[in-house]
Amino acid sequence: MSMERAFLGMSHSPLMGLNPVAAPVEAALLGAIAQAREQVQAFKPELVVLVAPDHYNGFFNELMPPLCIGTAACSVGDYLTPPGELHVDGDTALAMAQRLMDEDFDIAISRRMVVDHGFAQALQLLWGSLDTPPVVPIFLNAVAQPGIPRLRRCRQLGAAIGRFLDNVPQRTLLIGSGGLSHEPPVPTLAHPDPAVRERITFRREPTPSERDAKTQRVMAAGRALAAGDPAMKPLNPAWDARWMDALETGGAALDALCALSEDSIEREAGLSAHESKSWLVARSALPAGRSPRCTLRHYQAIPEYIAGFGLLCLQA
């Protein structure tokens, strides 16, 4: 029985390939992504557990679970990510859900999960398409309070997933997709426009013009952040470094990370920094009692992408 596992924490940005950045910045980022891709290919995962958020493309406030496992999943193909079905291992997803329920996690289950670039971009960057090893997709709500999972619960969930994987023979790659510090123009129910509140509450397929307007709005926000617009919340590289330090070190450093207040995450790192919890879930699923080695750590603050963009590879 193999317990070989690897972890990859990877930021995502819908603005990659859309907003231009300086050539050295782009080269450094693409080089780090290439290193991550090479390491993943060398690891040869037989199963991928992918923890990621959504940005009001698949999950809405009409019914917003804190966490959800998909037994099937389809990408909407937003921004420049591929549309279509993910290669989901439905049997393993159901077995994982069963084990989590037995461990007192009231996990939601989707038989037809809809995902966006939060899931698809990581697969695209690592495999070039959605033609990947079998995947178990796990959605983490990172936009809609009060149902955003708390830090301690994310760590507990990851540990429970790890105990399930102790009895799974496949060599498993754990991916946390999201974060780090960033606050893109994702609306909340506090938005003053009733039409916006309606749009993030009830599922409806956007028209091509609506989707294009959203893309242009996000691109403009990235340009504004890069230009130093005081209306945009700046990235926080120091917060990002503390987050990556804790996940790399583990142990007491993770204890301290999980003691952060929810308010401090939003105040210091931005409303969408809750996406970073996808890293915490995935990292906590590494085998207990082992000290994983870090094989890649890379970070860039890229305002044009509205992202404190990090990559962290650990292998147990």
Residues annotated as catalytic (active site), given as ranges: 117, 182
Burial 95-115 (b: 16+ CB within 10 A, else e): ebbebbeeeeeebbbbeebbb
Give the pair of three-digit tokens for residue 42.
Answer: 């060398």
Which one-letter DSSP state was computed for residue 60? Answer: B
User: Which among 65, 248, 64 has a CA at the least distance from the CA of 157?
Assistant: 65
DSSP 233: P
Task: Give the pairing of strands 113-115 and 73-76.
Answer: parallel
**292: closest CA among 93, 1, 9?**
9
- 2 exposure class (CB count in 10 Å sphere: 0-12, 13-18, 19+): exposed
Residue 100, both tokens: 């989590």
3-state SS class at 96: helix
Reading the block at residue 28, the tokens are 């450094």
3-state secondary structure of 282: helix
Question: How far, in whole angstroms, is CA 316 from its chain's centroid?
Answer: 21
Determine the residue type at 94.
L
Q: Which residues pair with 114 in a beta bridge?
A: 74
Within 10 Å of residue 297's Cβ, how many Cβ atoms? 16
The whole-angstrom separation of Cα 309 and Cα 316 is 23
